[in-house]
């Protein structure tokens, strides 16, 4: 019998995708089937975004209003922060990549929380930007929400991944 040998790069890729599949299934069970249904985790993140947006804009002496998941400047319709916009899925994507990619757990333990905090603050500045747009130029909201901020957030997460691969991954050849 003539068996084909699997080269190390192929076996690494297969293992990488199997880990990714396993983490996705774990995410699906924990988040999609449980946490998103009960809502407390998403609400915690959204409430934090609303409160921090309020605090920052209040510091600059804007007259503000807030409702459950809405923050706005008086005279505008405000910005509603829904579950898809709270950044949790982007954080999970970032965490998943760092977990499945090679590197020491010692580095992963500090790199992951820093990345999550960076993503959360980027999302905060996105909400602040959208809140200001709602007041001063509402016609810009849809485009910037859908494209500008999405591309910017994913680009920065991609840079975080590249930083991990370049400086903290054990296997720098792949």
20: pLDDT strictly greater than 90:
no
* pLDDT (tens digit per residue) in 21-30: 998 899 888 8
11: pLDDT strictly greater than 50:
yes
Mean of pLDDT over the chain: 91
Contact 144, 152 (CB under 8 A): no
31: pLDDT strictly greater than 90:
no
What whole-number distance in Å separates Cα of residue 83 and Cα of residue 116? Answer: 17
pLDDT value for 86: 93
Angle at which helices 105-136 and 149-167 cross, to 10°: 160
- The tokens for 148 are 């500008």
Q: What is the mean pLDDT of residues 44-60?
A: 97
Q: How many helices (H) and strands (E) does the chain have?
A: 7, 3
* Phi and psi torsions of 79, nearest 5°: -125, 130
Give the SS3 label for residue 18: helix
* pLDDT (tens digit per residue) in 63-111: 999 999 999 999 999 999 999 999 999 999 999 999 998 899 999 999 9
pLDDT value for 39: 86
* pLDDT (tens digit per residue) in 111-166: 999 999 999 999 999 999 999 999 999 999 999 999 999 999 999 999 999 999 99
**Residue 7 pLDDT grade (very low, low, confident, very high; cuts 50, 70, 90):** confident
What whole-number distance in Å separates Cα of residue 16 and Cα of residue 22? Answer: 10
- Do strands 79-80 and 64-66 pair parallel, antiparallel, or not at all (unpaired)? unpaired
Q: Concatenate the DSSP letters of all residues of 57-119 into one string.
A: HHHTT--EEE-SSEEEETTS--EE--GGGSSHHHHHHHHHHHHHSS--HHHHHHHHHHHHHHH
Contact 79, 70 (CB under 8 A): yes
pTM, full prediction: 0.86
pLDDT value for 174: 42
What whole-number distance in Å separates Cα of residue 123 and Cα of residue 127? Answer: 6
């Amino acid at each position: 019998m003539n068996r084909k040998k699997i080269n190390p790069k192929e076996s690494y890729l297969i293992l990488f995708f199997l880990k990714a599949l396993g983490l996705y299934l774990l995410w699906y069970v924990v988040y999609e089937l449980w946490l998103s249904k009960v809502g407390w985790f998403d609400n915690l993140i959204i409430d934090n975004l609303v409160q921090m947006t309020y605090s920052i804009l209040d510091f600059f002496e804007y007259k503000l209003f807030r409702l459950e998941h809405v923050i706005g400047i008086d005279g505008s319709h405000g910005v509603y922060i829904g579950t898809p916009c709270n950044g949790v899925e982007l954080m999970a994507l970032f965490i998943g990549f760092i977990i499945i990619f090679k590197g020491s757990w010692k580095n992963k333990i500090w790199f992951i929380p820093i990345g999550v905090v960076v993503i959360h603050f980027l999302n905060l500045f996105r909400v602040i930007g959208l809140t200001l747009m709602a007041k001063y130029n509402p016609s810009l909201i849809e485009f910037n929400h859908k494209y500008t901020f999405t591309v910017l957030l994913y680009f920065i997460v991609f840079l975080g991944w590249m930083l991990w691969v370049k400086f903290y991954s054990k296997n720098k050849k792949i």
